[in-house]
Amino acid sequence: MFFGICVAFMYAIKAMATCYGTSLFDENRLLENLQCLTLLAAGGIFLVKSCICRRYSTVMALCSSLAFFAACREMDNVLDKALPIISWRIGFVFVIIAIIHTIRNARDFLPALHDFVATPAFFAMCNVMIIVVPIAQLIGHKPFLQAALPPGQAIGNIKELFEECAESIGYLLLLFASIETLIGLHETKK
């Protein structure tokens, strides 16, 4: 099912690109806003799971904080204007709060992490990290593309296309992982 949704999502991006052209991939435009909403939804679901399932609250709070941090990173253009000095770094507040929560509940963390690592959601999140970091960020990195493409090739649009599409799929998989966690991770063990 997730595979089919991902394929449909990529066709939706293709349809949006037909309508909006290269502006679809610009800062603070439709695709970036969809990415941010996807990250906020995933973070919200992890946060809800953290609140309703005490056993896993530390791990879910960390997952939530990372999704919220990534949303702040995606909205760097808006945050640069709203908070000129701090900008997207405001997202570290979410991570710090989650770390403090984990430290306060340290005895719960390792057992919860042990259980979470055995879930399909964890493996989906590992795939997210592979897609978002080495694929989207590193292959979509301007110096890499300059080295890989013929000299003089305009790479700005290629970079944005590749990076934004890969990030979009990664964030969608993160949303799926959060839903899988909400449904599949239960407070059964004590």
Answer yes or no: is 113 within a domain. Answer: yes
Answer yes or no: is 189 within a domain. Answer: no
- Structure confidence at residue 154 (pLDDT): 81
Which amino acid type is present at position 141? H
Residue-range definition of the domain harbouring residue 128: 2-184
pLDDT, one tens digit per residue, over 109-141 is 999 999 999 999 999 999 999 999 888 888 888
Answer yes or no: is 78 within a domain. Answer: yes
Answer yes or no: is 190 within a domain. Answer: no
DSSP labels, 122-146: HHHHHHHHHIIIIIIIIIT-HHHHH
Answer yes or no: is 20 within a domain. Answer: yes
Answer yes or no: is 81 within a domain. Answer: yes
Distance CA 48, CA 56 (A): 11
Answer yes or no: is 25 within a domain. Answer: yes
pLDDT, one tens digit per residue, over 41-95 is 999 999 999 999 999 999 999 999 999 999 999 999 899 999 999 999 999 999 9
Q: Percentage of the chain surpassing pLDDT 90?
A: 72
For 34-84, give the secondary structure using H, E and C. Answer: HHHHHHHHHHHHHHHHHHHCHHHHHHHHHHHHHHHHHHHHHCHHHHHHHCC
Number of domains, the chain = 1
Answer yes or no: is 133 within a domain. Answer: yes
Residue 189 clears pLDDT 80, i.e. is over it: no
- Structure confidence at residue 187 (pLDDT): 64
